[in-house]
Structure 1
C-alpha cells in the first residue's frame, strides 16, 4: 500500500465547468511527481452540481477524495476543514479555477525540507486591471500590518508542513494570512515564482468589497491574534 506524504487540498465552490480540466491536471501531477501524493477536494456548499461531478471524479481516481459542507461557509472554512482532515506530512493548496497549475508544485517541493511554508508568487498575472489593482492594494495593507515581507500572500499555490497547518486558528479571512500565521509559530517561509493563467471557465468569487474591505478588517483581527498568540515549548 502506498504511503502518501503529500495531500493537495482543493476548495471547490461552484466550479463545475472547471472540474474535468482540474481532474486531468491533478492526475498528471500525481502520476509524475516523486512525492507520493493524493488529492482532497473540499466542496464548500456548491449549488451548480459540482458535488455530483466530484463524486464521479473520486470514484474513478483512487488517489482522489472529497468532503462536503452542508452549505457555503467560505474559502477560509474550506481550507481549515482540509487542513484538519489531512493525514500526510505535507499538504498543498490550490484553487479549482486553474489560474495556477499543479505542475508548479514541483517548483515548491524542493524547499520543503528547510521551510514550513513554501508559497508561490504569481508572475505576469493574467488578471483584469481592477482585480490586479485591488489585490495590490490589499497586499500592501497586509504587509503593513503583518510585516511578513511576502510579495503575494493571496497566491493560491502553497505547500505547508501539516503539523504547522493544523495549529492555524480558525477565523474568516485566514486564507489571506497563511505565511504570517506560520511565522507566528516561528516557522520558516519561502517564496518561489510560479506561472499564472487567465480564468477560462466559471466566475471569480471575490469582488472589490472582499478584496479590499475584507482584508482591511481582517488585518485588525490578525493584530489582535498576534498580540495574544502564545508559543509554548514542552520540557517533558
Structure 2
C-alpha cells in the first residue's frame, strides 16, 4: 500500500497507555482521509513499553517502530520520526492520547495550502498550574518567534515531510516547529482540536519543562534564526 502520511508516536514509559493507543490509531487508519501508517519511536523506555510496541506491530501491518538505545528526549524522538519517514506527509501525536487521532482529518483539510498545520487544544482538561504555565510559555514564544500560534505545544501536527526533514532539531525545539517552518518560508496555520484528561501513565514535563526551559530555548531559537541558511535555486545546468 502506498502510504501518504506517517504518524509519529513518541513513547517513553507509556506501557499503561499503549493498548488504547493501538485501538485508537487502528480505528483512525480505517477512517483517515489519506492512506496512513504509524511509527512508534521508543525513547529508551524503562518499563515494558517495547514489549507492547512489538506485539502491536506484529498484529498491525501499518505499524512500525524505532527503539533508541537510551533516553534522548522528545525532540530527538520526533527528529528520528522525521528522518525515517518516507511519505509526503508526517504527523505527530503523543502516546498519552490527550488529543484524538480523528482530528488529523481536520488538519489534513488545510495541508494542501500550508506546510504545517498544528492543533490548538480547545477547552483544555489540564490542571490550573499546567494551563497557566503553558499559556505563559506560549506567550513568550510568540513574542520571540512572531509565529502567531496560540498553542505550539499541542501534540497534534501535520507537516510536509520535505520541510520537516530540513528542520535543524535541538533539545526543546519540538515547541518551535511552526517557527522553524517559517524560517523555510513555509506557510503555517492552526486548527482547533479536542483535548482530554490523561487517564493512564504520568506526565513527563514539570514546571521547568513547560516554563523556564522554553524561555532558555527561545534564545537558542534566536541564535539559530540569525545563523539559519536558506536559499532558492534559480537555475541549474541540468
TM-score > 0.5, shorter chain as reference = yes
Match of 1:3 in 2: 2
Structure 1: distance between partners of 2:161 and 2:55:
28
Structure 2: distance between partners of 1:31 and 1:147:
37
> Aligned to 1:193, what secondary structure does the other structure show?
strand
Cα displacement string for residues 169-218 of structure 1 (whole angstroms, at most 9, x for unaligned residues) = 02111101000000000000011000000000000000001111110000
Structure 2: distance between partners of 1:214 and 1:75:
14
Structure 1 position 49 matched with structure 2 position 9 = no
Matches within 5 A, 1:13-92: 13-92=12-91
Structure 1 position 113 matched with structure 2 position 112 = yes
> Aligned to 1:126, what secondary structure does the other structure show?
coil
Cα RMSD, aligned residues only: 0.6
Structure 2: distance between partners of 1:202 and 1:33:
27
Structure 2: distance between partners of 1:169 and 1:34:
29
Structure 2: distance between partners of 1:143 and 1:37:
32
Structure 1: distance between partners of 2:132 and 2:38:
32
Match of 2:140 in 1: 141
> Aligned to 1:16, what secondary structure does the other structure show?
coil
Structure 1 position 103 matched with structure 2 position 102 = yes
The alignment's TM-score, normalised by the length of structure 2, stands at: 0.98
Gaps of 5+ in 2: none
Cα displacement string for residues 26-85 of structure 1 (whole angstroms, at most 9, x for unaligned residues) = 001111223110000000000110011100000000000000101110000000010000
Structure 2: distance between partners of 1:205 and 1:124:
21
Answer whether contact 2:126 2:197 (CA < 8 A) is retained: yes
Gaps of 5+ in 1: none
Structure 2: distance between partners of 1:203 and 1:141:
26
Structure 1: distance between partners of 2:45 and 2:220:
28
> Aligned to 1:177, what secondary structure does the other structure show?
helix
Answer whether contact 2:33 2:105 (CA < 8 A) is retained: no
In the TM superposition, residue 164 of structure 1 has moved relative to its aligned partner by: 0.2
> Aligned to 2:17, what secondary structure does the other structure show?
helix
Cα displacement string for residues 129-153 of structure 1 (whole angstroms, at most 9, x for unaligned residues) = 1111110111111011101110000
> Aligned to 2:50, what secondary structure does the other structure show?
helix
Aligned length: 235
Structure 1: distance between partners of 2:31 and 2:205:
33
Structure 2: distance between partners of 1:206 and 1:50:
19
> Aligned to 1:17, what secondary structure does the other structure show?
coil
The alignment's TM-score, normalised by the length of structure 1, stands at: 0.98
Structure 2: distance between partners of 1:126 and 1:34:
27
